[in-house]
Amino acid sequence: MPMNPTRKRRLTIVVSILVAAAIAAVLVVLALQNNMNYLLTPSQVQSGEASSYTTFRLGGMVKAGSIQRSNDSLKVTFTVVDAGGAMPVEYTGILPDLFRDNQSVIATGHMDNAHFIATEVLAKHDETYMPKELKDAMAKAHADKKIEDAAAAQDNMPGTPRP
Amino acid sequence: MTPELGQLALILALLLALAQGILPLLGAWRGNRALMAVARPAAAGQAVFVAMAFGILVWAFVRFDFSVQYVADNSNLALPWYYRIAAVWGAHEGSLLLWIFILNVWTVALAAFSQKLPEVFASRVLAVMGLIAVGFLAFIIFTSNPFGRLLPMPGDGADLNPVLQDPGMTFHPPVLYTGYVGFSVAFAFAIAGLLGGELEQAWVRWARPWTNIAWAFLTCGIVAGSWWAYAELGWGGWWFWDPVENASFMPWLVGLGLIHAQAITEKRGSLRAWTILLSIFAFSLSLLGTFLVRSGVLTSVHAFASDPRRGIFILAFLTIVVGGSLLLYALRAPKVAGGKPFKVVSRETVLLIGNLMFAVAAAMVLLGTLFPLIGDALNLGRVSVGPPYFGFLFPLLMLPVVLLLPFGPFLRWGKGDTPVLKQVLLRAGIAAAACAIVAAFFVDGQLKAIAGVASLVWLSVGVLLYAIKRWREVPRGRRYPAEMAGMLLAHLGVGVFVAGVLLSESLSVTSDVRMAPGQTQHIGGYDFLFQGAHRTTGPNWRADQGVITVTRDSKAVAVMHPQKRTYLRGQVQTESAVDAGIFRDLYVALGEPMDANDIEGAWSLRLYYKPFIRWIWGGGLLMMLGGFVCAGDKRFRIKRAAKTETAAAGLQVEETHA
């Protein structure tokens, strides 16, 4: 059957939409693959779960008394712990407002031998807020770890839950 | 006793909302005018009771009534009165009450101004608004009562989240909600149109200013939020692709598509189905946004463990609204569709491409934002999508929009001519290229900055060319009607915004440093001298305050006082110091003392030099202004329709071609 102009136009439209959709899908998948961040706790890292990721997020509590500042730069080292593991972290820069002993934090970075080199450190936003995913990750790793009440985060503010 | 009155008022409001939601629909279906007439008084009554409840909650905050749990949780004796009022929307329950209050304001305005719409259509619109109110009132009454008592009454309350204790932030939620809720009008129109099986162009014309106003409010709210993040978070960033930001950005994108789609439908009658679909999505995403932010569901599906009723209610509500309206759409949209055909080169095509880009961008943001939930469901582990995902895809999607934007106004409806386009392309293109080359010398060849200058010139010359064309070709007095002026303003705003983003991102100088008192840092041509820090106090906080004097070529520029505040309950909040300027901001935030016991010694400091950052919000405000100005066009106000058949069957409004 010969194509009349209307059919031809419709076909062009449909084909171009399909092509555009395919390109969009490929781009989205690529962007997703490159930017997925996994959240792991120190014990998960130590059991080897981090080996397949170059960068990931490390979540846990700051071990009391582990924060060590350098005398002449912004370099700081501290240890992130969960109930079954500990991970030394190195970071150069300004720490968030609420960074202190026994605070839950999420650090983004990569492993360098047995150290975690952080490029970004986030702390929970106020004392009633704890990142839900961190809470879950820690609860999953250690069911017996005492963690703050879940209700608190429900009343968390609009605004960026950043440190 | 008073708080219980608030709860009673909410229950009465729910009953009236039920009447407003159900009876007029029945009336419109059966052609019963008495039932249809219920809509307006019921809406007014509901608004009175909701306003009462809202006022009672405000009163409880003003009076320090800590026997109310919500008041005790979000305020204390030291909190200044203005922040106590802001505390009304400081958490989940009060935010919902604010939402329903704003919905009632919109509904009353709708009821008052819709007298000239056909009775059947108007009563359906008001009924849909009533049904939305039913959902929210039921949610408040059954799961999130702000008037719950706390016994025994504590002597003092807790505190308002310190992030809200900022003048700009107190207005952010109400403005944002006004935008969210405003999309309910377009939604109600769409649903009423589907129910009736017809959507007159004249009705869409009448709906347009409402959508414009809602969108402009949403723009304002987002700009305020972005400004707040910049000033308060101490990171100097203006957008983080954070779930909470995305929640407001998705309805904004779809709303942006909607105001353009409505223009097509109103002027040409085409794309009715698409306009209806966007109306549904804009409101659904507004609902999603409201719930996402407050519920904490985003970072975990288990967030509802403490109160599963809320989660189930929200899921059910969203399912009914989204599922129900899409089902209705599938059944009725073909009946509503219609309109005039258009050629490939036409204003419709350009608007449609823009629409497609906005819709895809919204879908992209939705996917990225909900990815943690998807990852959870698929057992991928704790996974989230980083800002680079959005940062890569979003500019890509907006590129065609920026490139096509100058052509839009020049194209005619239906069939545009190409010569005029070549002219625009040539003039704006040459101007943009020339300015880009000149700019290249000033910005050390930074591509992003050059692109920023080029897009600014490209867009503003495009706007200017069209303004000149109108000036030449249209008689005085009719050159720039409000609709046209608003469009030009908003499009100019896009240029300013894009330039602000690209220039500030590429030319900013940021430095995290350790500084002892007396030390100087040289950044972006400015000398920052740290003079040490000292203690200071406010009404409900104490702070370490740094003093930094900034000089340029030995001339004093500013004295800056960044603070690190500690509020009553121990929450710490950074108050950065900003020296604002049209072409550059200087920005200083306190990090922490190097020795926690010696605040007068060395500190870590963030020092930023941010050129053109203000243009980002300036562009946003121009877009907002454009939205408001557009809405003020006289054309949108319905004159008494030439012929209003009020017989129950076959209501048709003569199309008034203004």
- Residue keyed to tokens 């979540």: A59
> Among A28, A72, A150, whose Cβ lies nearest the Cβ of B364?
A28
Nearest CB to B382: which of A133, A157, A163?
Answer: A133
- Tell me, what's the pLDDT at A46? 86
What secondary structure letter does DSSP report for B319? I
Report CA torsion sign: A99, A102, A106, A109. Answer: positive
In contact, B322 and B284? CB cutoff 8 Å: yes
Judge whether residue B640 has pLDDT over 90: no
The span from the CA of B94 to the CA of A158, in Å, is 13
pLDDT in the model for residue A139: 65
Lowest mean pLDDT among B70-79, B162-171, B342-351, B453-462: B162-171
Q: How far apart are CA B283 and CA B568, in angstroms?
A: 39
- CA–CA gap between residue B268 and residue B340 (Å, rounded): 6
- Residue with structure tokens 């009533």? B130
Q: What's residue B497's pLDDT?
A: 97
Whether the Cβ atoms of residue B85 and residue B108 lie closer than 8 Å to each other? no
Q: Residue B639's pLDDT is what? A: 58
Q: Which residues pair with B23 in a beta bridge?
A: none
Provide the pLDDT for residue B624.
97
- pLDDT tens digits for B372-395? 888 877 877 778 888 889 999 999
In a 3-state reduction of DSSP, which class is residue A63? coil
- B443 close to A (CB below 8 A): no
Interface test with A, best of B92, B145, B159, B161 (most A CBs within 10 A): B161
Range from A12-21, B60-69, B385-394, B538-547 carrying the lowest mean pLDDT: A12-21
Q: Nearest CA of chain B to the CA of A159: how many Å?
A: 6
For residue B510, what is the nearest residue in chain A, using CA coordinates?
A93
- pLDDT tier for residue B298 given thresholds of 50, 70 and 90: low
Please check whether residue B385 touches A, CB under 8 A: yes
Residues of A whose CB is below 8 A from B396:
27
Other CB atoms within a 10 A radius of the CB of residue A66 amount to: 15
Mean of pLDDT values over A13-18: 85
Q: Name the least confident of A38-52, B179-193, B445-459.
A: A38-52
Residue B646 has pLDDT above 50, yes or no: no
B382 chain-A contacts, CB cut-off 8 A? 38-40, 133, 136-137
Yes or no, beta carbons of B161 and A74 under 8 Å apart: no
B393/A28 CB distance under 8 A: yes
Residue B205 has pLDDT above 70, yes or no: yes
Which helix (H) or strand (E) segment is B131 a member of? helix B119-143
State whether residue B564 sits within 8 Å of chain A by CB: yes
Greatest pairwise CA separation for chain A in angstroms: 83
Helix/strand/coil for B602: coil
Q: Across residues B498-525, what is the average pLDDT?
A: 91
Comparison of pLDDT for B269 and B455, the residue scoring more: B455
- Residue B577 has φ and ψ, to the nearest 5°, of -105, 130
pLDDT tier at B501, thresholds 50, 70, 90: very high
Segment B55-81 shows an average pLDDT of 91
Cis peptide bond upstream of B152, omega within 30: yes
Quote the pLDDT of residue B407.
Answer: 92
CB contact under 8 Å between B389 and A32, yes or no, is: yes
Question: What 8-state DSSP symbol labels residue B98?
Answer: H
Percentage of chain B beyond pLDDT 70 is 94
Q: Do B512 and A74 touch (CB under 8 A)?
A: yes
Helix H or strand E encompassing A57: strand A55-62
| pLDDT value for A132 | 56
- Distance between CA atoms of B89 and B525, rounded to whole angstroms? 43
Burial of B155 (C-beta count, 10 Å sphere; 0-12/13-18/19+): exposed
How far apart, in Å, are the Cα atoms of B570 and each of A127, B72, B148, B448? 8, 17, 26, 42
- What would the two tokens of residue B148 be? 């719950």
Quick check: B257 and B359 in contact, CB under 8 A? yes
Q: Which residue has the tokens 């009771």?
A: B49
Q: Please determine, for residue B291, whether its predicted confidence score (pLDDT) is greater than 70.
A: yes
Give pLDDT, residue B25. 94
| Statement: residue B647 has pLDDT above 70 | no
CA distance B400 to chain A (A): 13
pLDDT, average across residues B538-563? 91
* pLDDT recorded at residue A1: 54
Spatial contact of A157 and B238, defined as CB atoms under 8 Å apart: no
The 10 Å Cβ neighbour count of residue B591 is: 24
- Output the average pLDDT for chain B: 88
The tens digit of pLDDT for each residue in B598-631 reads 888 889 899 999 999 999 999 999 999 999 999 9
CB contact at 8 A, B424 and B407: yes
Q: Lowest-confidence range among A98-107, B95-104, B266-275? A: A98-107
Residue range B116-123: mean pLDDT, rounded: 90
Mean pLDDT for B266-295 is: 88
Residue B353 with chain A: CB contacts under 8 Å: none
Residue A109 — φ and ψ, nearest 5°?
170, -155
- pLDDT for A141 equals 58
Q: Which residue of B572, B595, B603, B607 is the best one to mutate when testing the A interface, meaning the one whose CB has the most A CBs within 10 A? A: B572
Q: What is the pLDDT of residue B401?
A: 95
Is the Cβ of B240 closer than 8 Å to some Cβ of chain A?
yes
What pTM does this model have? 0.89
Residue B652 has pLDDT above 70, yes or no: no
Q: Classify burial at B457, counting beta carbons within 10 Å of its beta carbon; exposed 0-12, middle 13-18, buried 19 or more.
A: buried
Q: Do A32 and B570 touch (CB under 8 A)?
A: no
pLDDT in tens, A28-59: 888 888 888 888 888 888 888 877 788 888 88
